[in-house]
Structure 1
Amino acid sequence: MHAATPQTLNIREATPDDIAALMQIEERSFSSDRLSRRSFRHLLTEGNSVTLVDQLGTAVRGYITLLFRDDVSLARIYSIATAPDYLGQGVAAGLLDAAEQCALAHNCMAMRLEIRKDNAPSQRLFLRHGYALFGTHDGYYEDGMDALRFEKSLAAHLRPELARTTYYRQTLGFTCGASCLMMAMKAFDRSLVLDRTLELQIWREATTIYMTAGHGGCGPYGLALAAHRRGFATEIYVNGDGVLFRESVRSEEKREVITLVHDDFVRQVHASGIAVHHRVAGTAELTRCFANGGIPLVLISTWRLTRERAPHWVVVTGSDERYFFIQDPDNASARPPEQRINMAIIKKDFERMARYGRNATKAVVVVYPRVPAPSI
């Protein structure tokens, strides 16, 4: 069942009774790539989609169709058209505004669409509404015309805190923790430059160990120390005193090295006065951290995202009654960047994700603004 669709002026959700009017608009608006009657019926009755129409009196003046996917917080504008008799009367702009509200009602954080490269009026419409060009599809349309790909983040309309966290995509397969910390620090220091040099500096400081056969990974103690050295306040949540990632290697020698590095990190954390809470940071704790101005970095298992069980750090950028919103720095995923920014994850699902390994290791590092220097 669809979420409630916001009502805007003359705009309502289409029904199968509108198919004749939709077909008339389609045939008068496009010379190729037309939606068929069968396609409209599927979209209106079976598809994971919503079609909105602008109706004035008995006249359907235009329509817009949105597609949704259950596993991503992204809406796609599948088609938009205005009846030729009503061009230039703001019909498309009104439909687009209503579609964005509809996408928000479906918990989508972004909108995306393709526009013909030779369709300048449509491009101007979406650019005026804050959409940005992010790619192309060569030969996308039936006649061989290329498509320009546009997207817009809707996060700023949802919650102000979602807009403060700049996205950074990790450049190496093992620097997710460093990349997450960079995103959190950037939220508090807009002058901070996010680049590969900083990414590697933080990784070198925060990783448990690096060996020829692999590394132990960035742990919560190392990440908290890296933030602390740069003046940011931090706190750590871990569900025990165990050594993270120790069981990920078989060599006893390597386990000993990981343990030594971990123990040294723990000593440094205690000496630095960083708060360590030996308990799980669940929904209530994460909500409290947000209320106090913090940004949590959370260790998860990637199973839900990639169907591979691997430890991975993500940034939690906000929450509402039902969802946590995360930014995923993963550079190996086939998912496009817009599907990794402010992803909506149902809270109970996120709590299942936020653990790793046979021991269900849970770790959270919360980053806060820099601590002011004492006055002299």
Structure 2
Amino acid sequence: MLTLFLDAVDQITIAESLQFDFGTIRAATNNFSDANKLGRGGFGVVYRGMLFDGQEIAVKRLSRNSRQGDLEFKNEVLLVAKLQHRNLVRLLGFSIEGSERLLIYEFIPNKSLDNYIFDPTKRAHLDWEIRYKIIKGIVRGILYLHEDSRLRIIHRDLKASNILLDAEMNPKIADFGMARMVVLNETAGNTNRIVGTYGYMAPEYAMFGQFSIKSDVFSFGILILEIVSGQKNTSYHNGENVEYLLNYAWKNWHEGTISNLIDPTLSGSPITEIMRFIHIGLLCVQENVADRPNMASVVLMINSNSFALTVPRQPASFMVSNVLSPTSLQQDTGSNVTVNNVSITELSPR
């Protein structure tokens, strides 16, 4: 009983230490000025700000129509605040006033990966060394969430726009509004609230609500293919033809022409190493959940060329128009689905 009381006191102390005065944040963002906007999503708007001591921050102003109460919001903050890793964006605190709910994060100067990798000009500056570093950092961050933190977190919305890049182009995984916590001896769960982004969702999750560490692995596999190709997963441009990236990757793997997938700006890079990463990406997007590696195995695959890779089978391949539709998923009024890469983030007690 005493232990429970002390735990409760500790939680209250942590919550108080993380709470910012609303007026302080309003001043830091110049009253949430449009000039300070960094981006907008289904969750609301993110603003750049500066505290009185000169520290730069990013402020996520959640939509006012959230159904979440103050207690649940604070519980969510406490959960994310416990996640500390160099490849995760660090939560500095929160602020509540009336219907306003703010999340305060460290400011990451280079915005998100999608701003670089899908831009024809900017991605030309991302040589293989930088892309390799980004992939390895994402792997470390996911491994921490799945295996190494005190909690086991399934992110459920891993995508290029949720990978932020710091001043040295180190990746930091962001946006835990859709994350789910499972106990350490569990690796999966079920939900009737389907959240995430078309194109990155594992099929068993998108269709049946079955999420697991392997559904995050699927999303990571898509990320690898995007980083190597410089193309969005839903629209690979091959001359005048446009097709789903996963279909294109598998077709070229099967025909022995997988080098077609590599971004032309990477010419002169170590092709054998890049091909190995494509191989790893294809293993991560296997249709059978059991055929996908866990992130600990992915680390071994990346760090050791002597680690033998199995031969991938045809990956999970489905088009949104054929299997998923916004109408079918939104029949559940609790569903949060991302269409055209715009996330709908609703924080809720886990």
**TM-score category of the 2 structures, normalised to the smaller one:** under 0.3
Q: Which has the larger radius of gyration?
A: 1
Using structure 1 for the length normalisation, give the TM-score.
Answer: 0.26
Q: TM-score, normalised by structure 2?
A: 0.27
User: Of Structure 1 and Structure 2, which has the larger fraction of its residues in helix?
Assistant: 2
Structure number having the greater strand percentage:
1
